Amino acid sequence: MDALIRDIGHLWLGNMTVDVRRYVIFAVAVWLVLWVALRGVMAGRKIRSDTPPNRQLASEFLYSIRSIVVFSTVGIGITLMSRAGLYPLADLARSWGPVWFWVSLGLMIVGQDAYIYWVHRAMHRPRLFRHTHRRHHRSNNPSPFTAYSFDLGEAFLMVLFVLLWPMIVPTPWPVTGLFMLHQIFRNTLLHAGYELMPARADGRPMFDWLTTSVHHDLHHGQAGWNYAPWFTWWDRWMGTEHPQYHARFAAVAGKPAVASEAPLGQSA
């Protein structure tokens, strides 16, 4: 029993170390580059004229560390379940070669996009919002440190996808590590406060199927829109993309205003 407790303790500490390092590297790097080193150069790409106060950044950092505690604790469960043979598809996928390795990474990213879209919409229902998502929206004007600033319920729902996906889709475990790098990289940029996506001549994003910092910033400012994390597909299919998204993006990108298609409908 003592050996098991020590093993779990080592697992938890290892998970915490990796997750905190990953969060700090990306959040601090984006903050240093955009908010400090290139602040003057990037002024025209700043989404909002005002800047969040330092106390907000400190609060977001502390709540993000709390979320990482949840991630790391669930991570222990994933490791123990794997040892117990409860992820046979993950073990099987190891023998499927490099092509499936990259295909499974793409599937996991696309799958998480759909998962977060629907979970995110559900969390905006009044009864769930105050227990799962209110903390994140206290950052009305987000910063790179907002990435993991979650209520406990939201932190659990976010890591639940990582626990469930390998049970459903054959996914080699190293893919999960790359997947985690993708999600913290994109998550930090969505909350960066600056728009990095190049614009086309017509003012629309160069890769209009990817969400942008403006896309997610609009959600923080007007919460009934733009629920999708990585791709614009679900918001467009379900009519929940902000009707002024393209015009707002064009303004930040320094392009002439463009007309946005009005969403088919809106529901929280």
Per residue in 100-114, pLDDT (tens digit) is 999 999 999 999 999
Structural domain boundaries enclosing 35: 2-194
Mean pLDDT throughout 21-38?
A: 93
In the chain, % of residues over pLDDT 90: 78
Residue 1's pLDDT band, with cuts at 50, 70 and 90, is low
Q: Is the pLDDT of residue 137 over 90?
A: yes
What is the mean predicted confidence (pLDDT) over 21-43? 93
Instruction: Examine residue 46 and state whether it is found in any structural domain, yes or no.
Output: yes
Identify the DSSP state of 39: T
Residue 4 has a pLDDT of 60
Q: How far is CA 58 from the centre of its chain?
A: 19
> Considering the domain boundaries, does residue 254 fall inside one?
no
pLDDT of residue 265: 42
Is residue 48, in this structure, part of any structural domain at all?
Answer: yes
Read off the pLDDT of residues 175-186 as tens digits, 9 standing for 90 and up: 999 999 999 999
Mean pLDDT of 162-179: 96
Predicted pLDDT of residue 5: 72
Is the per-residue pLDDT at 161 higher than 80? yes
Domain count within the chain = 1
Higher-confidence position of 263 and 173: 173
Q: Is residue 155 scored above 70 in pLDDT?
A: yes
Average pLDDT over residues 198-213: 94
pLDDT score at 67: 97
Q: What is the pLDDT of residue 28?
A: 94
Report if residue 49 sits inside a domain: yes
Asked whether residue 209 is assigned to any structural domain, the reply reads no
Separation between Cα atoms, residue 151 and residue 214, nearest integer Å: 23
5-28: per-residue pLDDT in tens?
A: 777 777 778 788 888 999 999 999
Higher pLDDT, 34 or 256: 34
Distance between CA atoms of residues 158 and 117, nearest Å: 11
Stronger pLDDT, 140 or 256, i.e. the higher one: 140
Q: Rounded to an integer, what distance in angstroms lies between the CA atom of residue 198 and that of residue 175?
A: 29
Using 50, 70 and 90 to split pLDDT, how confident is the model at 223? confident
pLDDT in tens, 228-249: 999 999 999 999 999 999 999 9
Q: Does the residue 210 lie in any domain? A: no
Residue 39 lies in a domain: yes
Name the amino acid, one letter, at 79.
T
Q: Rounded to the nearest 5 degrees, what angle is found at the Cα of 118, between the Cα atoms of 131 and 77?
A: 65
CA triplet 232, 234, 239: central angle to 5 degrees?
100
Give mean pLDDT, residues 200-209. 93
CA distances from 24 to 30, 58, 68, 120, 145 (A): 10, 13, 11, 24, 9
What global pTM score does this model have? Answer: 0.90
Q: Lowest-confidence range among 84-88, 143-147, 209-213, 251-255?
A: 251-255
Q: Distance between CA atoms of 121 and 154, rounded to whole angstroms?
A: 12
Specify if 14 maps to a domain.
Answer: yes
pLDDT class of 216 with cuts at 50, 70, 90:
very high
